[in-house]
Structure 1
């Protein structure tokens, strides 16, 4: 069974060009399924049927797994068995009648524009570290890119003169513009700090030892400045991404452009930010219209 999973992982990597996070999730989900199969003395994917899979999904729910996580498991299993069917390993797809639980998409928590401004003002010192941190935070909010994309940027990915950055995720490339605040912070970092901090590293941002910045390292940077700013929220890099998207929508950005900037493969993922805008419009209407309370 392990060989079937590894072949599927290779398919996701080389053919589908799925993201590293997606591949890791699929592998984890399928390994969990094989553990359940072993407990039930099922040694081949050919012996898996609809009843067994529905029992497995019910078990995940009873174990307290969230609806979103159960749904992702269902998606992983469906994709895997479709792959096995196409490869001729199984003769019938046992996932045809499996239904994932309904998942209500929640509006993501974001920072207000004032909170973002306060956060970005925190690295205001003249030390090399604060100049680097300022550039990273400004670029993150200016582009809405994922933290993994930010720390993977190469110097050659940034075009300072034309105000855009080239973001590459698993072979998929997108161009994201950035505004002058990010440009100014990047320019200062590139010419005053980076040569001595990064040495001959190809990465745009490194730690103080000249090594590639890690997700954990950047997470600590955000926590430091959030504490300084006295912002009473559990700020994460992804919250800044959500804030970028929400602020863009609220200020008139169209969803298709935002989808391209965020790198969403499906526009339904981007539409969640529109839900918040509609809620805000309703709130404004209820407060302003003279006959709401009649």
Structure 2
């Protein structure tokens, strides 16, 4: 099933989508770059290789295997009722996305997980290559959480694979540096996470990073009041202030980063405004 769906259709579609976004964000730039693009492409590509391998060889197989086994166990929410298969699949799809919203929050709030997710956030620019800049250790944690979510939700293997393709496409899209017409993106953002929305999540201002955790559907941030949209993209300083020196962010150091002493997020002052926070970061 993985070969016939994810490899045969999902992977080529995701590759085409990547190529399209890569070209479009080059022509229609949302945020000004602060680093050379091709150097970052190389760094982010090399860092992503082990994570890619774990995604394809461990995460996806484990989730699909659990979904297949669960068809005999019949454990989880979707096995508590009988409705049309399409409706059941839609519910499972939504709940899988909600579970990843919760997982994303845990990546930020639990120190043991943040040390791995930090590799993704310390990128000093934000574009489509950032969508692949994940430490392989984070993928190991994902296997446990996302595998458990598949079982608890009672998602079928087909839904798991379709969701994974949509998950990867959404991750590419909202990390891209693509500038779309504002009113169109504003309308789109009522339903899905967009580049402007996720760009705020990658801000060096802590209160902005602690928002916009959703992956596909923006409704989860709205329901839990973690949405933040009132930040102009020109005001965003991307990255983590404790790791703002580009010379430190080499391939080797990014691989070792989770296993070193993690620097705390600087305290920019109690009750300070976003503008004051930004002024301190710029200094």
More helix by share: 2
Q: Larger % of strand: which?
A: 1
Ranked by relative contact order (alpha carbons within 8 Å, sequence separation 6 or more), the top structure is 2
Same-fold status (TM-score > 0.5): no
Place the TM-score, normalised by the shorter chain, in its bin. Answer: under 0.3
For normalisation by structure 2, the TM-score amounts to 0.27
Greater C-alpha Rg: 1
Please give the TM-score of this superposition, normalised by the length of structure 1: 0.26
